[in-house]
Amino acid sequence: MSDSLSEYNERLDERRIATWVPPQDVPGPKFDSNGNAKPLYGSTCIAWIEQEPELFRKLCDLQKTIREEFEQAGLGGIYAFLEPESFHMTVCDIDAGPDPTRIPIEDRIEQGQRAFEQMKKPGKVTALIKGIGLKQTIAALVRFDHQPEELDEVLAMEREIKQTTGENVREFTGHISIAYLVQRPGEEATGKIKEILLPYEDRVFGEFSFSQLDLAYFRDMNTYVPLLTVDLGDGTATYHDRASDVWHSS
């Protein structure tokens, strides 16, 4: 196993359900305790899950099932479930904050353009979505055990974006969030959460292949709007004109 894959899997292991301890900073900056998304502005590079329709359907079904199981167990309201249209895998976060005027969006567009021009174009990247993990979120996990070279492609994209933007928020840990913790559970509720989720810990949801990468901005955790899209095959970059108008109306 390569060093990069070993280190990546260690980051995924931090999300193991059996060893999860609810974080203290709940609900945090993204949702209030009633599950309402708070205003939070920023930019990020993401791959949309809708690029893989069958996987998208399975994750929607997973979210629906978990929501129903939580309700039946008396856990309703502990998590805020994300709008499925927001499902994505983050390749590289860039910045975030409560004040949109402090996000240099025009600079980010220019930097994104340069990063997309300079990064290697692998055509597409393929991974396996297997299991779910817990942290601040319930998330499906992105695995590269049988395709370590694909992980190297994503890490190269991440390095290019970090170098071009001058921002290094966190290390890539592929996951697809479906719900955010908004109320800190007690010991009994924590046990119920683990009991419900453990059967999904090693479940295979399918292959995820993406051939496009987006520089997007967000206004909250349910609202991501693409600013710039790069085709990982021919390198074509598409600027989304309406995105800037939506941003400035935030």
N-to-C CA span, the chain: 46
148 preceded by cis ω (within 30°)? no
pLDDT of residue 104: 92
Range of the domain at 45: 3-248
User: How many other C-beta atoms lie within 10 A of the C-beta of residue 158?
Assistant: 21
CATH for 172: 3.90.1140.10
- Tokens 């502005």 belong to residue: 41
Give 76's DSSP letter: T
pLDDT tens, position by position, for the chain (250 residues)?
Answer: 799 999 999 999 999 999 999 999 999 999 999 999 999 999 999 999 988 899 999 999 999 999 999 999 999 999 999 999 999 999 999 999 999 988 899 999 999 999 999 999 999 999 999 999 999 999 999 999 999 999 999 999 999 999 999 999 999 999 999 999 999 999 999 999 999 999 999 999 999 999 999 999 999 999 999 999 999 999 999 998 755 555 555 5
pLDDT of residue 63: 98
**Are 229 and 240 a contacting pair, CB within 8 Å?**
yes
Q: How many domains does the chain have?
A: 1
pLDDT of residue 246: 52
What SS3 state is found at 235?
coil
| Cα 82-58-88 angle, rounded to 5 deg | 45
Give 207's strand partners: 128
DSSP-assigned letters across all residues of the chain: --HHHHHHHHHHHTT-STT----SS-S-SSB-TTSPBPP-EEEEEEEEGGGSHHHHHHHHHHHHHHHHHHHHTT-TTSEEEPPGGG-EEEEEEEEEES-GGGS-HHHHHHHHHHHHHHS---S-EEEEEEEEEESSEEEEEEE-TT-HHHHHHHHHHHHHHHHHHT--------EEEEEEE-S---HHHHHHHHHHHGGGTT-EEEEEEE-EEEEEEEEETTEEEEEEEEETTT--EEE-HHHHHHHHT-
